[in-house]
Amino acid sequence: MNKNYKAGYVAVIGRPNVGKSTLINQVLQQKLSIVSHKPQTTRHQILAIHSTKDSQMVFIDTPGIHNQKGTALNKHLNQTAQSSSFGVDVVLFLVEAMKWNDEDKRAAKVVQQSSAKKILVINKVDKVKNKEQMIPFVEQIVNEFQFDSIHYISALKNKQVNPLLDVVNSHLPVSEPLFDDEQISDRSTRFFISELIREQMMERFHQELPYSVTVGVEQYEIKGPVHHIHAVIWVERNNQKRIIIGKQGDAIKQIGINARHEIEAFIEAKVNLKLWVKVKSSWTDDIRAIEALGYTDDFAG
């Protein structure tokens, strides 16, 4: 092992839809976190492990910090995101270029409480035609909050991502690898399958039921070259169930087709996917139901 090898944890924090999951997928060059244009797409804390011959960066993809109140799920998502800033070596605070609101400010306050190195990352700079406009925008942020450095990127287009990684690496401690260098996440294949199915739900029903849907893999068997997967889509009300099933089952059939393609690409094998829709009344406001459906914060730092 290289005696100068570095390894550490890197939390990626920001409000919803600033590109946290897109950045992590770009770093790993693999789709690990699901992405959509809807807030709260990321609901779980996911470790994404980026290993090279000289270092290992363990990124923590977190739910977006938001101002929505009410349900137990919303509270859980915020608590999960906030806890990720502690016990890490570096915090990347992502904001969208030329957009700053109360949720950004709330996330920035969480970042400031961390003792880690703090990097302000301005994402989606490719959308800003006049780059000089970003000077007062960034000044507004750094006049109120302190950061060790500032970086401008486009996570989607992979612009200036590698220079950002170089800076992150410079802040990591000399250490043995924290995980096997072949491992890319702490999550199971079942977890990623359920997320890929949920992504299709978000894409198709983002207006009708964006927050009241979750997915659980009930059965996963490998028989020869085919992976047989049975999954349940959980909703809160019967009318939501009817929407997902659709007329003569057309909607859920299409969701199954799209999800199967994504899963096959992820596990690199042929998949036989069967989906069911079940109702668990008001699960988003039931702590026991949330825990039973896999929403637990298990990152220990």
Whole-number pLDDT of residue 80: 55
The pLDDT, as a whole number, for residue 194 is: 87
pTM, two decimal places: 0.71
87 close to 60: Cβ distance less than 8 angstroms: no
CB 60 within 8 A of CB 23: no
Contact between 169 and 51 (Cβ < 8 Å): no
Instruction: Give the integer Cα–Cα distance in Å for 216 and 175.
Output: 36
At 2, phi and psi to the nearest 5?
Answer: -60, 120
- For residue 8, give the 3-state DSSP assignment: strand
β-partners of residue 124 are: none
Q: What is the DSSP letter of 206?
A: T
Q: Are strands 149-152 and 214-223 parallel, antiparallel or unpaired?
A: unpaired
Q: What is the 3-state secondary structure (H, E, C) of 213-260?
A: CEEEEEEEEEECCEEEEEEEEEECCHHHHHHHHCHHHHHHHHHHHHHH
Show the domains of the chain with their CATH numbers: 6-171 (3.40.50.300), 189-292 (3.30.300.20)
Element (H, E) at 273: strand 270-279
The confidence score (pLDDT) of residue 286 equals 55
The answer to whether residues 93 and 14 touch, using CB atoms and an 8 Å cutoff, is yes
pLDDT of residue 294: 57
pLDDT number for residue 270: 96
Buried b (16+ CB within 10 A) or exposed e, 141-167: beeebebeeebbbbbbeeebbeebbeb
One digit per residue, pLDDT tens: the chain, 301 residues?
578 899 999 999 998 889 888 898 899 887 665 444 444 444 456 788 999 999 999 998 876 664 555 555 555 455 655 556 678 999 999 999 999 999 899 889 889 988 999 999 999 999 999 989 999 999 999 999 999 999 999 999 999 999 999 999 999 999 999 999 888 888 888 888 888 898 888 888 766 655 677 888 889 999 999 999 999 988 888 888 998 999 999 999 999 999 999 999 888 899 999 999 988 876 655 556 555 555 554 433 3
